[in-house]
Structure 1
Amino acid sequence: MIIKRHLLFICFLIVCIIKGQAQDITFGHLTTNEGLSNNAVMTMYQDERGFIWIGTRNGANLYNGNEFKVYKFRKNSSNSLIYNNINHITGNKKGEVYFMTPKGISALNIRKDTFTTLIQKEIRAMFYHEQLYAAHSNSIYIYDGKQFSLYYELPQKSKITALHVNDNQILIGTENQGLFSLDRHHQLSHPISKGNISTIFQDSSGKYWIGSWEEGLFMMNGETISNFRHEEKNPSSISSNFIRCCSEDKQGNLWIGTFNGLNMFHPSSQTFTRHQKRENGLSHSSVWSILCDHQGSIWVGTYFGGVNYFNPESQIYHQYQAAKTESEGLSSPIVGRITEDSQHNLWIGTEGGGLNKYDPKSRKFEWFRHSKLPGSLSHNNVKALYYDPLREVIWIGTHLGGLNKMDLKTKKFTQYFHNENDPESLPSNIIRDIIPYKEQLIIASHAGVCIFNPETGKVKRLFQTLPYKITYAAGIFIDHRGTLWICGGGNGVYSYQFDNQKITNYKHNHALEHGISSNSINRIYEDSQHRLWLCSNESGIDLYRYDTDDFINFDREKNELASDCVNDVCELSPGKLLFTTDVGFSILA
Structure 2
Amino acid sequence: MLTSNKKGYEDMVFRFCPDEIYKNYYTANKYFENHSILFYDKLKGKIWSLAYLISLDQWLFLTFDVQTKTFEEVSIKNGFDKNGKYQDGGFLSSKLEQNAAKIAFTDVYQDATNNIWWGTKDGVSKISPQSSAFQTIKTKKDDIHSTSSSDKNGNVWYTIEDTLFYYDVNVSSLASYPLKNHFNSNMDRTKGHTLFTIIDIYLDNSDTVWLATNDGLFAFNTLSKKFKRVDISTWQKSMLAQKQDYNQRYFLITCNGLSQEKNGDFWLSYFGRLVNWKVKENKAYSIVFPLWTWAKGFGSRTSEINIDPKGKVWVGTLDAGLHVFNPDDIKDPMDVSIDIFKTFNFEGAEPKFVDSKGNMWATSLSSGVIRINTETYNYTQFTKDEGLADNNTFNVIEDRKGRIWIGTANGLSCYTPETKKFKNYYKSYGLPSNIIGGRKSSLTSNGEIFIPTNKGIVIFDPDNIYTSSIKPRIAFTDFKVNGKELSISQKNSPLNSDISLSKAITLPYWQNDLSISFSALHFDDTQKNQYAVFMENDDENWRNIGIQHTVEYTNLNPGSYIFNVRASNSDGVWNKTGITLDITILPPWWATWRAYTIYIALIISLLVHFTDTKLTENYNWQKPNDYMN
| TM-score tier (shorter) | 0.3 to 0.5
Please give the TM-score of this superposition, normalised by the length of structure 2: 0.45
Please give the TM-score of this superposition, normalised by the length of structure 1: 0.47
More helix by percentage: 2
